[in-house]
Structure 1
Amino acid sequence: MYSNGDRTDYKKRIDWFTIALYLLLVVAGWFAICGASYDFDMSRLFAFGSRPMMQLLWIGLAVVIGFMVLLIETDIFESLAPVFYVAMLGLLALTIFIAPDIKGSHSWLVIGPLRLQPAEFAKVTTALFLAWKLSQSDFVLRGMKSYVYAFGIIFIPVLLILMQNETGSALVYVAFFLALYREGLTGIFLGIAFCAVLFFVTALKLQGDLWWGHTDAAEWSVVTMTSLIAILLVRLYTKERSRFYWLALGLTAIAYGVSIALSYFVPVNFLWTAYGLLVLLVVWVLVMAVRRYLLAYLLIAVFVLGSIGYLFSVDYVFNEVMQPHQQMRIKVALGIEEDLRGGGYNVDQSKIAIGSGGFLGKGFLKGTQTKLKYVPEQDTDFIFCTVGEEQGFVGSILLLITYATLIIRIVWLAERQTKVFSRVYGHSVAGILLFHLSINVGMVIGLVPVIGIPLPFFSYGGSSLWGFTLLIFILLRLDADRDPRKR
């Protein structure tokens, strides 16, 4: 431990560079909201109750909240993390039943003129509790039991938020896996997540409309990718030598060579070739699992069978589970449909606004697309298009550089922590910011489906701003209280 003098001197160790970046983004966000709200009448822009004036109030309260956090003893965050987490789960559950229906979701608590979204604050309590659990001396992130525990901490609030019909807010919790990966989570889980996205996109992109002769291109593509990935997994996670790798690839080449030759004389469905090779691979892997008594072989077989089951579930999930507006957003993002009057309207108008800004932009309050309200939600989820139109390519790049600097700084702060609790929490904060930034900007420029998550410090609203403020200032307080004799 270190002396009381060191503890009381923590205020001198507060990272003011991070605070400067935070304030810079908050102020820039306020100007962006002014640009998105301006409608040729300057007096209405600064009238009491207008979006800019309300955001100014949220900013003032956020700064007060942030600096109040810096006065709290760090032991409170760690010792009460389970209490905060359980209390927030209760609030999320209560929100499902008492929140009014606002745009199809029950996620906002209305208290007089104030509206709060508990899901924004649940990210803070989840980050604290996850950091608390991983910092326990008897907990090691290795093995199925520890994985189930860590995943449960993340997915319980996700389930409650999904029950509020807030898919976007729920998806943000994927960011916590970056912190888990830093603490020793095997990369297999990230690989599985990547394969799930890849197979889902391939199956939807090619479904029904594309046939290669008698072969369903979508199903064949996923089955073939599954075979190749399984062969690679055998090479990476078992004791098989490279001879197996080349033998498997050679057999695949021979099988398709024969199938192509036969196709000149009789109709051939190459899907049967793909399934035949996959069955041979699964049988061989299961035999090796019994002979070598090695779990890796069995897990590879589970991956193959799970991938095929997942393939056949894609159509059901997309058409029966997802809502029509979610289906359309995915189709628009994948280029399957345009729907410029419906699901693709927001993204199309956003692209027009950003493109019209050119290299240097039209200037503050001079964006015609934003002034004429062509882009829906232009001061919340789509506020980045206001930046693109008014500040142009240069302003957009400078904004992204500022965000990148803040995230890199937070990772650096996390890495210099002397306590596991602070390190895990820091990486959770960095992951959340990175996810929000990537998905929001990708959504606005049409790279990912529209899922409705705010741009940190820019999108209008108190809940989002206060949530991000708590995330960052708790980390700053933890960092200021680290042992100054180390690192």
Structure 2
Amino acid sequence: MSNQRSFFFNVDWLTVLLYLALCVIGWFNIHAAVFDESHPSIIDASTNYGKQFIYINVSIVIAIIILLLENRFLTALAPAFYVVTVLLLILVLLIGRNVGGNQAWINIGGGFRLQPSEFAKFATCLLLARYLSSVNVKVTEVKSFVIAAGIILLPMVLIKLQPDDGSTLVFCSLIFVLYREGLSSYFLIIIGILITLFLTSQVFNELYIIAVIAVITGLFAITIKRNRALVFKIIAGAVISIAFVLIAKPLYNHGLKSHQRARIDIVLGLTKDNRGVGYNQNQSKIAIGSGRLWGKGYLQGTQTKYAFVPEQSTDFIFCTIGEEWGFAGSVVVLGLYLFLILRIVMIAERQRAPFSRIYGYGVASILFFHVVINIAMAIGLMPVIGIPLPFISYGGSSLLSFTILLFILVKLDSNRMGIV
């Protein structure tokens, strides 16, 4: 009895309440996004909102099961989870169903489908946490870094072959886990510089960018001229940057598909195509803007009601929130996400076991990436890449995988005081 009482009090119920609040918000907004007057009941199983109700209940049952498991079960079976998801990712390439141009789904009958790429997220976090928490493993060493990178890259490559670019990019967020475990901040700085140079090279003439790099390099060299080693590194970095600028446009033109370039061009302001490639994003911005401060009210959104925004219950669910609940409702949702992610980081930092801490940062990184990219996509700050809004977007695989991802951490945290 004392163990059950201890377990009850050790569970982070605030995180659980945040999870339930986001699930309920998602359910009601899916109801609004695809509302059918001939099926008004929000629990009608023949509709997407009725199915989401089923998914929420199944997810809660799975969450309870996870909370009843032993921590040793999660750590011991981390490699098995990873292998199973990798096999499913291979299987989906062979027999998967093509939906929206991506062969990412496996039919499981009864109108339900499984998306293995969603489950690969928590499996990768588990194995990465197990490896990095092993004795004598340091991410600052080349061998350890290569193995950790391989754990992340394998599912990325298989998902890219589907091809599902959005889910592929999600795994890039795990670099923050490596950074927390000791990876030099120079890696993040270099990645940030390369992304900036790549994008600016599409907007400005290469000669202007090279001139700016040369001026900045010269100013740094003059300022720290006594430190010859640092000057040499800065000059070497400038040379590499200039070389990258020169190959950025050929990479952009030949390395990306035409529809990918078109989406990026729209965000960068290079083209405007509100009737074609930019239609979804433009309609999403109209819907969000029309909500103003307090929104039009539940089931009153005209953009939503007349289905102007495609994929409104999945990738563009945030525009339903913006239209019907306005700026105020959007801020509440963003506040819940911010609170949840900060709570997860706090939970990760208070862990005694390295495995739990590393896994916690994996959860925070993936949720942060999903939220930022999805909402930025809906308001036109990022290209459309098609990733769901955690706990809110319609989809059984998405909701179930995010539930497992989060509640494994809640379970690990509930037992933190028992770890020496």
TM-score (norm 1): 0.81
User: For the residues of structure 1 that align with 2:207 and 2:38, how far apart are their CA atoms?
Assistant: 56
1:197-212 equivalence runs, <5 A: 197-206=195-204
Counterpart position of 1:253: none
Counterpart position of 1:430: 364
Counterpart position of 1:32: 29
Shift in CA distance, 109/351, structure 1 to aligned 2, threshold 3 Å: same
1:186 matched to 2:193: no
SS in 1 for 2:293: coil
Counterpart position of 2:224: 242
Counterpart position of 1:335: 269
Letter in 1 for 2:404: L
Shift in CA distance, 138/458, structure 1 to aligned 2, threshold 3 Å: same
User: For the residues of structure 1 that align with 2:4 and 2:326, how far apart are their CA atoms?
Assistant: 46
Letter in 2 for 1:379: S
CA contact (8 A) 2:225 2:231 kept: no
CA contact (8 A) 1:202 1:222 kept: no
Shift of 1:45: 6.0
Letter in 2 for 1:360: W
Structure 1 unaligned blocks of 5 or more:
207-216, 236-240, 246-284, 289-295
Letter in 2 for 1:121: F
Counterpart position of 2:343: 409
User: For the residues of structure 2 that align with 1:306 and 1:92, how far apart are their CA atoms?
Assistant: 36
1:122-133 equivalence runs, <5 A: 122-133=120-131
Letter in 1 for 2:26: G
Percent of residue pairs identical: 43
Shift in CA distance, 138/54, structure 1 to aligned 2, threshold 3 Å: same
CA contact (8 A) 1:223 1:308 kept: no
User: For the residues of structure 2 that align with 1:111 and 1:227, how far apart are their CA atoms?
Assistant: 60
Shift in CA distance, 23/182, structure 1 to aligned 2, threshold 3 Å: same
Larger radius of gyration: 1
Letter in 1 for 2:117: A
1:50 matched to 2:47: yes
Shift of 1:163: 0.7
Letter in 2 for 1:225: I
Counterpart position of 1:115: 113
SS in 2 for 1:110: strand
User: For the residues of structure 2 that align with 1:222 and 1:24, how far apart are their CA atoms?
Assistant: 50
User: For the residues of structure 2 that align with 1:224 and 1:354, how far apart are their CA atoms?
Assistant: 38
Select which of 345, 352, 376 maps to 1:442.
376
Shift of 1:98: 1.5
CA contact (8 A) 1:361 1:393 kept: yes
Structure 2 unaligned blocks of 5 or more:
none
TM-score (norm 2): 0.93
User: For the residues of structure 2 that align with 1:390 and 1:83, how far apart are their CA atoms?
Assistant: 44
Shift in CA distance, 66/226, structure 1 to aligned 2, threshold 3 Å: farther
SS in 2 for 1:483: helix
Over residues 169-189 of structure 1, what are the superposed CA-to-partner deviations in whole Å (9 max), with x where a residue is unaligned?
A: 010111111111111110011
Letter in 1 for 2:138: V
CA contact (8 A) 1:227 1:304 kept: no
Select which of 333, 346, 371 maps to 2:305.
371
SS in 2 for 1:111: strand
CA contact (8 A) 1:44 1:50 kept: no
Shift of 1:479: 0.3
Instruction: Pick which of 219-228 and 375-384 moved more.
Output: 219-228
SS in 2 for 1:148: helix
Letter in 1 for 2:87: G
